[in-house]
């Protein structure tokens, strides 16, 4: 019998048992629904992560650190016994191995490196705004990244690749709410003061005696007071809220030079002076960042390329997706028994038909094919129903999800793709065929005379 004829007959016999066919394929549809959503969520998350990374990190960038735990590999972030290193830096009460000035120099001297920017840790005790006198605020402060150009709602930013001036600061839009500032145009150009403090040096006994003798008690008070510095900047621009840009939304941007000065001021006289937890380096265009990465890693640095970071994010996405897929597969396994059961009953019900077909000269192989194709049809139907349902539900839910978890307009967490859906449906047809194997074999082996005797 020709394949097309077998397929047609298979389709017709399913049509004759509509309810049963539908119910059996609904079991598969549950699996298909789950798998389609899992695939869509995975794809959506990957695209979203991709977007975040590409709008935050130059593809030629290298993140360089000394401490493995910063990338979540080996060793925990806190606690535990760790080897002391003179070259370590403290951040938020945690100690990390840091890159020393000579490490930074080594990176700078690499022939394929275009530019090196250490991550300056600037923390101001408080910040005051000219337009909001008598109020003190705290905020994160970071160096302005010349490779990322956020949109602005007031003021202007220099051309791509150019730094802002050393006395300038870029303020994120979200701060305006806290500051209760209505007129953002007037805000541009107004003053911002960063107040920095660093603890005084610990005084030795001899130093204390000396100060006591020369300056008395007030002198000693003066000497043990924290050293402070005020940096006056003016607002250059207000950056627009952006969901894909990580830093733009919650930190003040200052120029790289200012950041370096402030960082140096904060760490002066400590072991952390001019040592950095992380350094960002830009690889010259046309050079594969991975080759530079391998070179630097030989010197005990831990280097991640933009691709690596993407991989890091993807690992998490893939893991979660894997779990959901697992549930989908479980649903499918359950539905396999549904198909076996349905097809088995179908064979019993149709012994007479099978007997007739065999009596008319139909080969056992073709009879088996007939039943296998029926099972494949069930798989196809279930796959299509589930995928369409998932697509419909997903499309309806997407705007709501985006709003609820604040992904930002135009970003959807469920991204449905055509090819994976087709692959899924084909796989489900194969699952159907596998499930139909045993009933089909039973049909093929039926003795036609025996079958024709049943009335």
172 versus 448: smaller Cβ distance to another protein: 448
- Contact residue for another protein among 35, 235, 296, 357 (CB under 8 A): 357
Q: Where are the beta strands (DSSP E) in 211-318?
A: 227-239, 251-254, 278-283, 302-305
The one segment of 11-19, 120-128, 202-210, 393-401 that binds another protein by CB under 8 A:
11-19
16 binds another protein (CB under 8 A): yes
CB of 438 to another protein, least distance (A): 22
CB of 358 to another protein, least distance (A): 8
Please give the size of the binding site for another protein, defined by CB under 8 A.
23
361 binds another protein (CB under 8 A): yes
20 binds another protein (CB under 8 A): no
Q: Return all residues near 426 (Cβ < 8 A) that are at least 6 apart.
A: none
- Structure-block tokens of residue 331: 């649903």
448 binds another protein (CB under 8 A): yes
Rg, C-alpha atoms of the chain = 34
- Contact residue for another protein among 292, 366, 379, 402 (CB under 8 A): 366
How many whole angstroms separate alpha carbon 152 and alpha carbon 318? 35
360 binds another protein (CB under 8 A): yes
441 binds another protein (CB under 8 A): no
- Structure-block tokens of residue 120: 């300056």
CB of 31 to another protein, least distance (A): 29
Q: How many CB atoms lie within 10 A of CB 431?
A: 25
| DSSP character at residue 70 | G
CA nearest to 117, candidates 149, 166, 80, 163: 163
CB of 448 to another protein, least distance (A): 6
- Contact residue for another protein among 109, 180, 206, 455 (CB under 8 A): 455
How many whole angstroms separate alpha carbon 53 and alpha carbon 243? 12
CB of 343 to another protein, least distance (A): 17
- Structure-block tokens of residue 26: 């609904």
136 binds another protein (CB under 8 A): no
Please report, for residues 217, 313, 433, the alpha-carbon distance to residue 324 in angstroms, rounded to integers and kept in the order given: 69, 17, 24
19 binds another protein (CB under 8 A): no
Say which residue the tokens 């000065």 belong to: 261
CB of 382 to another protein, least distance (A): 22
Three-class SS state of 66 = coil
Q: Measure the CA dihedral 328/332/335/337, to 10°.
A: -140
- Kind of pairing between the strands at 113-118 and 152-155: unpaired
The one segment of 145-153, 185-193, 226-234, 351-359 that binds another protein by CB under 8 A:
351-359
- Contact residue for another protein among 68, 162, 215, 363 (CB under 8 A): 363
The one segment of 177-185, 338-346, 348-356, 399-407 that binds another protein by CB under 8 A:
348-356
Q: Interface residues with another protein (CB under 8 A)?
A: 1-2, 5, 9, 12-13, 16, 352-353, 355-363, 366, 448-449, 452, 455
């Amino acid at each position: 019998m020709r394949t097309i004829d077998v397929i047609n007959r298979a389709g017709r016999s399913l049509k004759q048992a509509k309810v049963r066919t539908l119910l059996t394929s609904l079991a598969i549809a549950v699996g298909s629904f789950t798998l389609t959503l899992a695939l869509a969520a995975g794809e959506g998350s990957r695209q979203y992560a991709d977007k975040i990374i590409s709008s935050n990190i130059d593809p030629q960038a290298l993140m360089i650190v000394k401490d493995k735990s910063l990338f979540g590999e080996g060793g925990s972030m806190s606690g535990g016994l760790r080897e002391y290193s003179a070259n370590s830096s403290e951040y938020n009460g945690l100690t990390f191995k840091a890159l020393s000035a000579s490490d930074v120099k080594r990176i700078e001297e690499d022939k394929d490196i275009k530019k090196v920017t250490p991550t300056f840790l600037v923390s101001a005790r408080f910040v005051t705004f000219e337009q909001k006198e008598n109020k003190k605020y705290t905020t994160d402060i970071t160096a302005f990244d010349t490779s990322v150009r956020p949109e602005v709602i007031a003021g202007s930013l220099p051309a791509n690749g150019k730094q802002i001036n050393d006395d300038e600061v870029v303020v994120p839009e979200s701060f305006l709410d806290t500051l209760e500032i209505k007129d953002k145009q007037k805000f541009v150009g107004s003053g911002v003061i960063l107040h920095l403090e660093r603890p005084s040096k610990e005084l030795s006994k001899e130093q204390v005696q000396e100060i006591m003798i020369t300056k008395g008690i007030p002198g000693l008070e003066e000497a043990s007071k924290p050293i402070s510095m005020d940096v006056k900047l003016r607002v250059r621009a207000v950056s627009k809220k952006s969901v894909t840009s990580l830093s733009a939304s919650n930190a003040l941007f200052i120029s790289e030079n200012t950041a370096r000065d402030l960082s140096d001021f904060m760490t002066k006289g400590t072991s952390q002076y001019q040592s950095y937890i992380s350094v960002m380096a830009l690889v010259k265009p046309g050079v594969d960042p991975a080759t530079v990465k391998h070179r630097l890693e030989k010197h005990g640095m831990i280097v991640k390329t933009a691709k690596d970071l993407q991989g890091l994010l993807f690992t998490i996405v893939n893991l979660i997706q894997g779990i959901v897929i697992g549930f989908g597969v479980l649903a499918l396994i359950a539905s396999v028994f549904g198909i076996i059961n349905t097809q088995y009953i179908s064979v019993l019900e149709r012994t007479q038909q099978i007997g007739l077909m065999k009596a008319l000269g139909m080969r056992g192989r073709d009879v088996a094919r007939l039943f296998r194709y029926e099972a494949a049809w069930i798989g196809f139907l279930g796959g299509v129903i589930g995928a369409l349902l998932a697509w419909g539900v997903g499309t309806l839910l997407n705007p709501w999800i985006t709003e609820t978890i604040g992904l930002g307009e135009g970003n959807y967490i469920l991204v449905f793709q055509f090819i994976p859906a087709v692959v899924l449906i084909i796989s489900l047809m194969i699952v159907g065929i596998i499930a139909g194997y045993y009933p089909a074999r039973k049909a093929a082996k039926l003795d036609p005379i025996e079958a024709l005797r049943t009335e």
